[in-house]
Amino acid sequence: MRDFLSFGEPLVGFYPSDGPSLIDSPGVVKTWGGDTSNFAIGVAKLGKTVSYLTRVGDEPFGRGFLELWRSTGVDTSLVEIDKARKTGLYFVSFDGNKHSLTYYRTDSAASAISLASLDSLAIESYRVLHLSGISLGMSPGACDVGLELIRRAKLAGSMVSFDVNYRKAQWESPQAASACFSKALALGVNILEITDDEMKALAWGDCLSDVEHRFPMVETIALKRGAAGAELVSNGQRISHPAFPVSVVDTVGAGDSFDAGFLTQIVEGQVLSEAIRFAAATAALTCTGKGPLEKMPVRSEVERFLAGI
- What residues have CB less than 8 Å from 135, skipping those under 6 apart? 7, 8, 9, 36, 142, 146
- Confirm whether 96 is domain-assigned: no
What is the domain-level CATH number for residue 134? 3.40.1190.20
CA distance to 19, 197, 255, 269, 284, per residue, from 93 (Å): 9, 20, 18, 39, 21
- Confirm whether 170 is domain-assigned: yes
What pLDDT sits at residue 96? Answer: 64
Pairing of the two strands 126-132 and 159-163:
parallel
What pLDDT sits at residue 97? Answer: 63
More confident residue, 162 or 251: 162
Selecting among 35, 82, 256, 259, the annotated active-site residue is 256
- Confirm whether 122 is domain-assigned: yes
Q: Residue 299 — pLDDT band, cuts 50, 70, 90?
A: very high
CA distance 110 to 54: 6
- Confirm whether 149 is domain-assigned: yes
- Confirm whether 174 is domain-assigned: yes
pLDDT of 173-213, one tens digit each? Answer: 999 999 999 999 999 999 999 999 999 999 999 999 999 99
- Confirm whether 106 is domain-assigned: no
Side-chain-side CA neighbours of residue 294 (13 Å): 15
Other beta carbons within 10 angstroms of residue 270's beta carbon come to: 15
Output the CA torsion sign for 262, 264, 265, 267. Answer: positive
CA angle centred on 57, ends 4 and 100, rounded to 5°: 75
pLDDT of 71-105, one tens digit each? Answer: 999 999 999 999 999 999 988 887 766 677 888 99
- Confirm whether 42 is domain-assigned: yes
Instruction: Check if the beta carbon of residue 36 is closer than 8 Å to that of residue 135.
Output: yes
Torsion, CA 165, CA 168, CA 173, CA 176, rounded to 10: -20
95 is catalytic: no
Give me the domain span that covers residue 172: 2-9+35-85+115-307
Domains contained in the chain, number: 1
Q: Average pLDDT of 129-145?
A: 97
- Answer yes or no: is pLDDT of 25 > 90: no
- Confirm whether 108 is domain-assigned: no
What pLDDT sits at residue 250? Answer: 85
